[in-house]
A and B are shown apart, each in its own frame.
Chain A
Amino acid sequence: MLVALILLWALLSTMSDLVASPAESLSALMDRFADGSIYRHLNATMQAVAIGFLIAAAVGFPLGYAIGRSKFLGAVFDPLVAGAFAIPRVIFFPILLQIFGVGVGAQSAMAALAAVFPIMVSTTAGVRAINPLLPKLARSLSLSPLQTVTKIYVPAMAPSLMVGIRIGFSIAFINVIIAEFFAARAGLGLLALRAYGMLDLPTMYGIIVLLAAIALIGNLALWAVERRLGNKQL
């Protein structure tokens, strides 16, 4: 699959001047690493993804859990969350720029805003799917509230939590790049856009490959964890 894609890319590059060849792209990317000019951008992007994801997790997991456990919160938030899905989160980016100014802060906020929803939704679904006898068991064995969460809810929900983490990471990543396309001081998205503006096609394609690789590797790693958890649960 991957090999086929690269072959197709190589083929297209021979047919069009607007497509840089894989070899050119890779070497342009290597140059950026060699002269160190890429690190500022790589850092900015990864920082925004990490901060955005962490904020989304810190808000999304507890909120999703609360919505799943409380009938009242469920009744209030279910329609809100469903409605929010219809609105592209990215339209709020200008407002975030107003608040945070151009920089990592705005990209992080964008990532957090976008990633909080999938994390919340999968957590809520996970809580609701729990065998209703388990909370009853927890009560009959006099588990403390903390033990009930750590020994019953978290392990019982581990697969949904992992799905939330994986999707949340992807969404955070996507939104940081999109935000960087709009307005940023640094970032791989900005770098790719600049390369496009200067018609530096090898660099543009090189950055795109790097972004794809980061997304792919991150996802595969999380997916592997998810599968291991799944096997354990059998």
Chain B
Amino acid sequence: MSHISPIDSVGHDSDVVFDNIGMTFGTGTGSTQAVANVSGAIPEGKFVSVVGPSGCGKSTLLDMVGGLLKPTQGTVSINGETVTGPRKDTAMVFQEDSTLHWRTVLDNVAFGLEVKGLPKTERYESARRMIELVGLSGFEDHRPGQLSGGMKQRVAIARALAMEPRVLLMDEPFGALDQQTRQFIGRELLHIWEKTRNRVLFITHDIQEAVYLSDEVWVMSARPSVVKEVVTIDLPRPRPEGTHSLPRFRELEDHLWALVKVEAEKTLGPGARLA
């Protein structure tokens, strides 16, 4: 049901490839080794989730792919090119609200394209499509202050999708939402992704969410972290509503729980909960 060490999956040029990447913050005695060594690849059209104890370096990993942090060891490459900074073919969604509160929903979603220099008609056309995709039709002229937390996250997701990224990087995008909203938006994200099929690197501390959405779940160890195990989620797609109650779903969930629990206990002591 799972294979250890993602190293054997390092692959083609068109993949997103992690080659022995590590990240140490600071130098000398005050330094923190966040990520020890991660190798692996996100294959074309795959949805990969990363789970692991709080503070193990999940965000650090994502920021290295997004070009916001330069690994202190190894390289990330996308499409055969080493990532040296933010790229046009990656887009990020953050945990907290990152909408621009002085802009309308339409201008928020079009923001990335505007920065890219796309003419108004083109960027609005594509923004309107994304707004429809995330279910915000009718809210084009609203401002973020008039929207719920879940709707603001959808704006951020639409803004990222509008960039038509090769890799979509999401750092606990539903982490700040209530349970009901996050399940609902999770389902929507899945519908959307099944249409776009770009690569997704998705950070979450919700194991059920990871199983439901992903093709692969990477379990990270406690800091300094490595990918302890890659769990292939072999549930058929599309995944309808009842997926959560399939016996296979439960099995995968239990397996991941067991893995993560061991790591969480390393950080926080026995009986600790994840994240």
Contact = CB atoms under 8 A, between A and B. Distances in A.
Interface stretch (B47-55, B70-78, B89-97): B89-97
Interface residues of B, number: 23
B100 A152 contact: yes
B92 to A, nearest CB: 5
A140 B145 contact: no
Nearest to B104: A232
A147 interface: yes
Interface in B77-129: 85-86, 88, 90-92, 94, 96-98, 100-103, 111-112, 115
Interface stretch (A8-16, A32-40, A128-136): A128-136
Contacts, number: 54
B143 A232 contact: yes
A151 B115 contact: yes
B245 interface: no
Given A139-B68, A158-B102, A233 B88 contact: no
A225 interface: no
B85 to A, nearest CB: 8
Interface residues of A, number: 19
Interface string A109-139: 0000000000000000000000101101101
A140 B100 contact: no
Contact of B146 (A137, A147, A151, A234): A234
A232 B98 contact: no
A133 B97 contact: yes
A193 interface: no
B22 interface: no
A70 interface: no
A60 to B, nearest CB: 22
A139 B102 CA distance: 19
B66 interface: yes
B91 A140 contact: yes
A62 interface: no
Contact of A137 (B88, B94, B101, B145): B94
A140 B88 contact: no
Interface of B: 66-68, 85-86, 88, 90-92, 94, 96-98, 100-103, 111-112, 115, 143, 145-146
Given A134-B98, A139-B68, 6 more contacts: A133-B94, A133-B98, A134-B100, A136-B94, A143-B115, A151-B115
